[in-house]
Amino acid sequence: MPQWTDATSLRILISDDDTHDGQPLYEAILRAAREAGLAGAKVVRGAAGYGRSRHIHETWRGFSYDLPIIVEIIDSDAKIDAFLPTVEQLRGGALVVRQCVQILAPHGTAATPEV
């Protein structure tokens, strides 16, 4: 029988043109998560989206500089808590979403977020 483990997902919703110290913001967040030893992170580029401005960001005639990006980090609740001050420092005006999740590890690995 599969074993599910409790974990926390942290999603940071930003724009492709957001930066921090001259580098893309998603890269800064990804590096910080890795340096903090978090279990896993991914960056997903959206096809279209909108936020507070209600302006739709999408590719138009093959060009866009502000497509939506989601940085998702998954680890234990305690490790996410410890990482939140870094997120607060980096995020600018980004929306941050925290969610309790359950993870199922791939076959042959431990079902724990501290992988």
The answer to whether the CB of 75 falls within 8 A of the CB of 9 is no
| Distance set, CA 8 to CA 20, 25, 91, 100, 114 (Å) | 25, 22, 18, 5, 11
pTM given for the model: 0.84
- Digitized pLDDT (tens) for each residue of the chain, 115 residues in all: 778 999 999 999 998 889 999 999 999 999 999 999 999 999 999 888 877 777 777 776 666 667 899 999 999 999 999 999 999 999 888 999 999 999 987 666 665 555 4
First to last CA, the chain: 20
Any idea where the domains of the chain sit in the sequence? 4-104
The answer to whether the CB of 101 falls within 8 A of the CB of 7 is yes
CATH of 4-104, one of 3.30.830.10, 3.30.70.120, 3.40.50.300, 1.10.10.410: 3.30.70.120
